Structure 1
C-alpha cells in the first residue's frame, strides 16, 4: 500500500561532501575544505534514498558571488565589500547559465559534473530540485555563459530613470552606490587584507537593493550584496502589465499558459522564463523559488505555466511567508507547494520550546483545509535554527513528536535538512554566519554530518549509538509516509474532541486519524518532556461514523515503529483505545 507523498532532502551542496574538520573562522577553502558535486557518490545517493527520500534539493548550484579567482575559466574574485562571508551567498547569483565553480573538481567541466550528478540522482530513483532566485541577483552579475541570443541583465536598461517597465533594475539616477557602514565590528573576510577590500564598489547610478531599499547607501542589515529585479511594478506599487482576472484562480496551468500568449510582458519575465527552461533542458525536475512573495503573482502565472508546458510534472516550491497570499500563489500563481513556516513550523517550534500548546494545531489544519496538500512541512532548513542547537531545543530527540505530526498529518511533502537526522547543532563560528544555523556564507564543516559520512563510506561509522538511533527514527518516519496509502487519504482531528471528553489528555498531546478505503490509522504524539500519558483515547463522532466499525473488543498494533499493541473497544455510540505513551513518544495504530 503506497502513498503519493514526497520527501525532500534539502542539502547545501558546498558543505555535504566536505570532510575537513579544521573549522577556522573565516577560513579559506584550502584551510576548511569545500564539498564537490562528485562527493554525491552512488553510495551516498543510495543511502539518502534509503532514508525515505524522493527528491533532493541541491542548494547553491548557480554561480554566485565568491571570493577567489578562477583563472582557468576567466573568472575573477568578487569584491569582499559586497560579499557576505568568504564563500558567498547562494542567493546572490552572479551567472544564471553556469554553476558554482567551487563545486567542481575540474572547473573547466563544472557543468558536465553537475549534469552527471543529475543523472546519478535519477539513477537512484530520486528527482532533482534547484534554486531560482527571482527577486534579486548579485550586485556584480556577469553573464559569461549566456546562450546565443540571451542578453545580460541590464544591458538594454535606461539607467537615467528610476523605472521603466522593460528595465531589469530600478535605479537611483545621479547617485553612486555606497557600501553600507559595518556594524558590530564587522570587517570583510574577518579583517584579512584583500586587493578589492577598500570599502568601495563601483556602481553608477546606484540600483535598488534586493530587499527593496531605495537608498544609494543601504543599511548593513539590507541585502546589500544584491540588486532588486524590476518585474514591471512601478515604484508606487501599481502594475505596468496585464493583470489576471479573478476567475483565473479556477484555471489549470494550460489556461494560464494560453492567457499569456501574444501578450506584451516585461523583459525580466522573459529572462527568468529562459533561465528556468534552460535548467529544465539539463533534466532538472523542479525549482525552489526564493522569496517568491516579493515578485508579482502574475509573473508566477506566466513562469510556472511555461515550466509546466515544458514539463507538466515539474515540482515547484516557493518561499512565501504571508498566509494572506497563500491562495493567490497556489491558485493564480500555479505553485505546487509553499513553505508552511508562519503557521505550522512556528507553532511546532513554540511547542518544542515548551510554551506552545497543541490546542493551536487543529485551528491551523482547519484554516488550511482547502490548501493542505500544497503546504510544504519542515522542521529545519538553511534559514532556520538547527533543532539541536543550544539556542533552540538542544536535544534533537525533542523534535520527534513534531516530526511525526508534520510528516503524517496531510498529503503535503515533508522536507528535512541534511544533518538534521543526526542531530547537527551548528555550533561553529564560521565567519559571517551565526552559530545555531549552519553557515551558508562560509567554508565550514558540518561535524555531525561528517560523522555519518565517515570519510566517504556513508555508513554512520563515527556516530554514537544514540545518533544512529536518531537517524533510524527519521528513516522509520519517512519510509512509513511512502509506504502507507492512508496518508494519501482522509484526515480528521481527534485532539479537540478528546480535550473536551478526557481530562487525562492534555495540551502536550496531539491525536488525529488518517484513512483510505483500505487502511485506517490513529496517530498520537506526546510532546511532554517529563510525563507519561495513560488514558483512553476516543474517536470523534465523525470518525466513528466514517469508519463503521463492528462492535466489540480487538487488539491493534503500532505500525510505524512496531513496538507495541493495545486494545480498541467499539461500543454502540463511541470507540476508545487504551493509550500509554512515554515522554516524546509517538505511535501509529492501524485498525483492521
Structure 2
C-alpha cells in the first residue's frame, strides 16, 4: 500500500510547501489550547508494537523464511513483566498492530481455516491490512489456535491490569480478496455475501465489480515473484475471482498493477463510480455538534450496508474491551460514514481513542469535526519537516509556522518519528544514527498537547536493516516472519530486562523513558505555547537554524525548552524572552533558578529586567534542555 500512499502524500505536500520552504516571519503570539476536544489532564503516549514480532526470539532471519524457520511472537509473550516494562517507559496506550485475522502463508486447515493464495498475499506472513476475518484474530499469534480469540481477550485484560489502554487496527477502505469469516456473530453476513455481482455498483453492494471479467494476477516484474519464487502449490499465477472486484487503492482494472494494493478489494460506501453519494449529507453547521447529536442524526436514516458492517465490527471489539482504533487510510472513506460510526463508538465508550491516517491537510478539520476523529497523523507537516532537519538539509525555521497553522486543532494532531510505514531513524536511508532522533523527539513530544507515538524498537535505536523477503531494509517488515535484533536483545529470552542490550541501546532507552514519563506528568505540556524561535533568530547571536526553542506553561508550571539538532557543534548563547511573553506568564523582575527536567544536572538562571527575560544556554551537540522555572 506504500506506493499509493506516496501519491496521496505528494499531493498533500504541495499544499504545505510554502510553510516548509519559505517561512513567514513569526509573530510573538500565544497559542491557547483549542477546545474541539477538551485536552486530558495528561499527555497520552501510544506505543505501537507489531504484535507478531514482539516476542520472537528467533534470530535466523532468513529472507522469505517460514514461520518454523524464522519464528513468530505470540499474544502470551506480553507477560505481566513485559507490559509493566512498557508501562514504565511512559506509555498510556498500546497499539497492537496486526491483530485481526489477515491472510498468511501458513497452513491452518486443520483448524478449519482456508489456505491463502501467495498470488494475492504480500510476503509470507501477510499484510495486516488485508483482513480476512474481522471477527477473529491472526492465528499466528496464538499458542492454541482454537483458543486464539480467548488468548487475545486475556491480553486485553493483562494490558488493562498494567494500567494501559488497548488499540487495534480497523481498515475500513478494503479487505482481503478472499474475505471469509468463520466466527461471525449471529445475524452477521460476510462482506459481499449478498452482493448483486451482475452490476458494477449498487448502493448496498459491499464491493465494486467488473461484470463479465475475471480477476487476473498482476504481471510480476523487476525480479519480484511471490514467496521469492519458491515452489508452492498455490503460487501458480492464478486466483479465482469472477467477476473481478476493484482493488483496494481504487484501481478498476481486472488485472491490477503489481504496485497496486492487489491483495485487497475496495469497500463500497455508497458512492457510485461517477462520484454520486447515495446517502445523506451532514446538515450545514453540524461539524460543531457533539458525537451525541451525530449519533441521533443517523438513527432515522437509511445507510449503505457497508456502513452497518463496519459499525458492527467496531462495536464488537469495544465490547471485547478494546479501548480504541487506528483507522487505516481514513481519507479514502467518506466523512459521513465516520460521523455515523465514530458517534456510535463514542456512545458505547465516550473515552474511546480514535486515531486516523489522513494525509491531506485540507481535510484535517473535516475529519476531526465532521468525522468525530480524536486524532490524525501529523505526517506531511511536522513529521516531514522535522525529518528534513534531522537529515541535515532542513531548517528549524520551518517548524513554528506549522504549529501556528494547526493551532486550532493542535491537540488532535498525533506526533511521531517512526511507525510501521516510515523508515527507522537509525537506518542509513533516514538519519543513520538513532541519536539524531533525540532533539527531534523532545520537540515532537513537548511542542503541543497532542499525543506522542513511538514504534517498538525506536527507543533502542533499531535500524531495520534486515532483508526480510517482501520487506526490505530501512523499515521493519510487516509482511514477513522476521526477528528485530535490537528488540530481541532487550527481550533477552523473554526476561524483558535489556540483559543483552548494548550500552548505547540502554542509554537511548533511558532517554526515552525520562522524556516520556516527564511528558505524561507535566501540567505545562497541556497548557499554553509560545515560540521563542524567530525572536531569537533575529535578536540573539549564535542562535541559528539548527536550534529550536519555545515555552510551555500553566499557572503552576513554566517550562523553557531548547533543542540542538546539530550533531557536531555546541552552541552557547543568551536566550531571550520577549516582554509580551513575560507579561503573559506573569513573571516579575528578578532572578529565577531553572533546572533541567530530563537529567536534573544542568542549571541556569533566568534574569528578568524591565519585563524582558534572558538566560545563558550552553547546548552540546544533539542535546535538549527542558528547564523548569523555579518561581
Q: TM-score range by the shorter chain?
A: over 0.9
Q: Does 1:406 find its partner at 2:444?
A: yes
Aligned-pair Cα RMSD in Å = 0.9
The one of 322, 326, 329 aligned to 1:284 = 322
Q: Which moved more, 1:375-384 or 1:230-239?
A: 230-239
- SS of 1:455's partner is coil
- For normalisation by structure 1, the TM-score amounts to 0.99
Correspondence list, 1:378-393, <5 A: 378-393=416-431
- SS of 2:249's partner is coil
1-structure distance, mates of 2:374, 2:238: 42
Query: Which residue of structure 1 aligns with residue 535 of structure 2?
Result: 497
Correspondence list, 1:19-38, <5 A: 19-38=57-76
Correspondence list, 1:370-385, <5 A: 370-385=408-423
Q: Does 1:160 find its partner at 2:198?
A: yes
2-structure distance, mates of 1:217, 1:55: 40
Query: Which residue of structure 1 aligns with residue 380 of structure 2?
Result: 342
Correspondence list, 1:99-498, <5 A: 99-498=137-536
Aligned 8 A contact 1:12 1:58 in 2: yes
Unaligned segments of structure 2, at least 5 residues: 1-39
Q: Does 1:50 find its partner at 2:85?
A: no
Deviations 1:206-238 (A, max 9, x none): 000000000000001000000000000111222
Aligned 8 A contact 1:72 1:107 in 2: no
2-structure distance, mates of 1:248, 1:383: 34
Aligned 8 A contact 1:3 1:481 in 2: no
Structure with the greater relative contact order (CA < 8 A, sep ≥ 6): 1 or 2? Answer: 2
1-structure distance, mates of 2:580, 2:209: 59
Deviation at 1:3, TM superposition (A): 4.6
- SS of 1:56's partner is strand
2-structure distance, mates of 1:570, 1:294: 52
Deviation at 1:246, TM superposition (A): 2.7
Deviation at 1:560, TM superposition (A): 2.3
Q: Which runs of 4+ in 1 moved over 3 A?
A: none
The one of 538, 558, 575 aligned to 2:613 = 575
2-structure distance, mates of 1:17, 1:103: 10
1-structure distance, mates of 2:476, 2:578: 43
- For normalisation by structure 2, the TM-score amounts to 0.93
Deviation at 1:466, TM superposition (A): 1.3
Deviation at 1:98, TM superposition (A): 0.5
2-structure distance, mates of 1:379, 1:130: 20
Deviation at 1:289, TM superposition (A): 0.2
2-structure distance, mates of 1:439, 1:346: 21
The aligned length equals: 591
Aligned 8 A contact 1:257 1:302 in 2: yes
Query: Which residue of structure 1 aligns with residue 31 of structure 2?
Result: none
Deviation at 1:561, TM superposition (A): 2.0
Deviation at 1:483, TM superposition (A): 1.3
Correspondence list, 1:40-119, <5 A: 40-119=78-157
2-structure distance, mates of 1:565, 1:559: 10
Correspondence list, 1:544-559, <5 A: 544-559=582-597
2-structure distance, mates of 1:558, 1:3: 22
2-structure distance, mates of 1:36, 1:260: 40
Aligned 8 A contact 1:3 1:487 in 2: no
- SS of 1:94's partner is strand
